[in-house]
Amino acid sequence: MLAATPDQLQHIGALAAALVNPGDRVGLGSGRAALAFVRALGKRVREENLRITSVSTSLLTEKVAVEAGITLSSLMQVDQLDIAVDGADEVDPDLNLIKGGGGNLTREKVVESIAKKLVIVVGQEKIVEHLGTYFPVSVEVIEFALPVVIRRIQAMGGIVEQRKNADGSIFLTDNNNPYLHVRFGPPPHHLANPAELDRVLRLIPGVVETGLFVGMASEAIVAQFDGTVRILKKI
């Protein structure tokens, strides 16, 4: 599958950074495209003396933001954001998302739930007709509840795999929780009703959060394969 190049991600990251206004409270997303945005925003902070308040969605993003010259605040200090910018694993025509490939879905959803505007930066390869086409649904789970959650999801028809690191060790989120990757049905793994699936999964005791971000994104800045940029906006 074709993928956006680093230069393309840098370009759309800069376009997203240009949307930030002086005095804005900004959510900083995770993943390659989101980190390109963070670096571009840091450049504005340094060169324009742009004054903003920002909250990070991951420990890695915190590190990159500090290196870029961005001062970070916490959710204790910020109760609402003017804009958040993040990446996604899949984006459907209604701007519903599958997220979580970077392992930070809960922190991302918490931060982005208080944003007035959520802008997604992605390559064209992330645009799909139906969620679940290429990526599984990530589910963050309390470790104690892992067997219960797995059995419940399997009873729903889900094919469950626990996420592991490249060395075979168990992957843990920044919250120190394990992660499940879930697919439903035979290929192609289209999700018929992402909103209902998100609701049902979150009702399982022990589930912290899912990677289904339904009705949250306002627009997407898409790096096309031909080098152009396409803007998708919520109707």
Domain boundaries, the chain: 6-128+214-233, 137-211
Structure tokens at 170: 């168990």
CATH class held by domain 6-128+214-233:
alpha beta
Distance of CA 187 to CAs 55, 190, 222, 226, Å? 38, 8, 26, 28
Residues 142-168 have pLDDT tens digits of 999 999 999 999 999 999 999 999 999
The Cα 131–Cα 98 span in angstroms is 7
Q: Which superfamily, per CATH, for 137-211?
A: ACT domain (3.30.70.260)
Answer whether 137's CB lies under 8 Å from 182's CB: yes
pTM exceeds 0.75 for this model: yes
- Tell me the pairing of strands 137-141 and 207-210: antiparallel
- Residue among 108, 112, 140, 209 flagged as catalytic: 108
* 108 assigned to active site: yes
Answer whether 65's CB lies under 8 Å from 39's CB: no
Residues 82-103 have pLDDT tens digits of 999 999 999 999 999 999 999 9
